[in-house]
């Protein structure tokens, strides 16, 4: 952006310098007043036309740059949306995988705990039976 500002300042300085130089050279020329005024008029018209051409060219370049920027922004937007969709699918798959793993681990822990309770219950029953056999007179 700084280069564009510098270029614009250069163009303005160039145009002002060219105009000033033209006016000074015409005024200092050894011509009659009428001839000098006619030359100044011609030069002013010429400078106006060149300024208009330069403005139109600059305007076209700015419009092209604007359209390019819009196209690039749209392209980046689509890429970001696609990446977000991919991440959403990946996260959904990972969540389902974790849920399945957690369910499997829970079932395994439940089974192991149930086996432990059954073994403990049998051991208690055995222990009670031994105590009962020992206590009987």
Closest by CA position to 36, among listed 51, 25, 49: 25
Query: Best-predicted range by mean pLDDT among 3-7, 27-31, 68-72, 89-93?
Result: 68-72
**Residue 2 reports pLDDT greater than 60:** no
Cα 112 to Cα 98: distance, rounded to the nearest angstrom: 21
**For 43-91, how does the pLDDT look when each residue is reduced to its tens digit (9 = 90+)?**
889 988 988 898 899 989 999 999 999 999 999 999 999 988 888 888 8
Report which of residues 136 and 102 the model is more confident about: 102
- Mean pLDDT across 107-118: 86
Give the model's pLDDT for residue 99.
87
pTM: 0.43
Give the model's pLDDT for residue 4.
60
């Amino acid at each position: 952006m700084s280069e564009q500002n510098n270029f614009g300042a250069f163009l303005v300085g160039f145009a002002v310098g060219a105009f000033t130089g033209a006016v000074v050279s015409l005024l200092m020329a050894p011509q009659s007043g009428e001839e000098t005024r006619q030359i100044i008029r011609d030069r002013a018209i010429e400078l106006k036309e060149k300024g208009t051409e330069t403005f139109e060219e600059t305007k076209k370049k700015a419009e092209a740059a604007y359209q390019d920027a819009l196209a690039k922004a749209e392209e980046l937007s689509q890429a970001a949306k696609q990446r977000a969709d991919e991440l959403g699918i990946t996260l959904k798959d990972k969540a389902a995988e974790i849920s399945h793993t957690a369910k499997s681990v829970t079932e395994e822990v439940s089974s192991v705990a149930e086996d432990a309770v059954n073994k403990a219950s049998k051991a208690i029953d055995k222990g009670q039976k031994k105590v009962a056999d020992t206590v009987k007179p």
